[in-house]
């Protein structure tokens, strides 16, 4: 699989509940030993009505991500739950093993930290693959 295709394979199943009073989110990932070979699987939820539903939906979306390899999907686990925050995921621009994520109060800060986390694993350029904030009541 080409390096570019690895980045494009980072399509996500989105879980979104409307309503400003709902503000629970979760992030799940499956990361095999070789990200460059097997990619990663990611699932998330935001604006869920409860932390439990956010965790369930994030894990379900990670396990069901059709563009992810079976090896990556099998490793899916919820890595964080949040409320009134933003998350971002960054990937190695060259399609290598680098990736990172961050959870912060603002999307620009989450993106900055996700890029730092990614760069610390590969020491080269990374790009933001996705970012989202839950709604604030």
Query: Is the confidence at residue 13, as pLDDT, over 70?
Result: no
Q: What is the pLDDT of residue 36?
A: 87
Better pLDDT: 94 or 113: 113
Q: What is the pLDDT of residue 124?
A: 77
Q: Which of 16, 47, 1, 9 is nearest to 30 (CA)?
A: 9
List, in sequence order, every residue forming a beta bridge with 107; answer none if it has no partner: none
Query: Is the confidence at residue 128, as pLDDT, over 60?
Result: yes
**What are the contacts of 59-64 at 24+ separation with CB within 8 A?**
59/26, 59/28, 61/12, 61/13, 61/14, 61/15, 61/28, 62/28, 62/29, 62/30, 63/30, 64/13
Q: What is the pLDDT of residue 136?
A: 54
The Cα 2–Cα 15 span in angstroms is 28
How high does pLDDT run on average in the chain? 83
Q: Are 137 and 20 in contact (CB under 8 A)?
A: yes
| CA of residue 74 relative to chain centroid, distance | 16
What's the predicted TM-score (pTM) here?
0.78
Tens-digit pLDDT profile for residues 64-109: 999 999 999 999 999 999 999 999 999 988 888 889 999 999 999 9
């Amino acid at each position: 699989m080409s390096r570019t295709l690895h980045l494009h394979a980072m399509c996500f199943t989105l879980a979104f509940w409307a309503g400003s009073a709902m503000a629970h989110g979760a992030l799940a990932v499956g990361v095999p030993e070789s990200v460059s070979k097997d990619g990663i699987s990611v699932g998330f939820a935001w604006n869920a009505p409860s932390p439990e539903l956010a965790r369930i939906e994030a894990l379900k979306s990670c396990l069901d991500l059709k563009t992810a390899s079976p090896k990556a999907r099998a490793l899916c686990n919820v890595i964080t739950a949040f409320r009134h925050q933003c998350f971002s995921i960054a990937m190695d621009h060259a399609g290598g093993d680098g990736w990172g994520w961050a959870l912060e109060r603002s999307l620009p800060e989450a993106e900055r930290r996700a890029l730092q986390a990614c760069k610390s694993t590969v020491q080269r350029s990374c790009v933001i693959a996705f970012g989202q904030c839950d709604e604030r009541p």
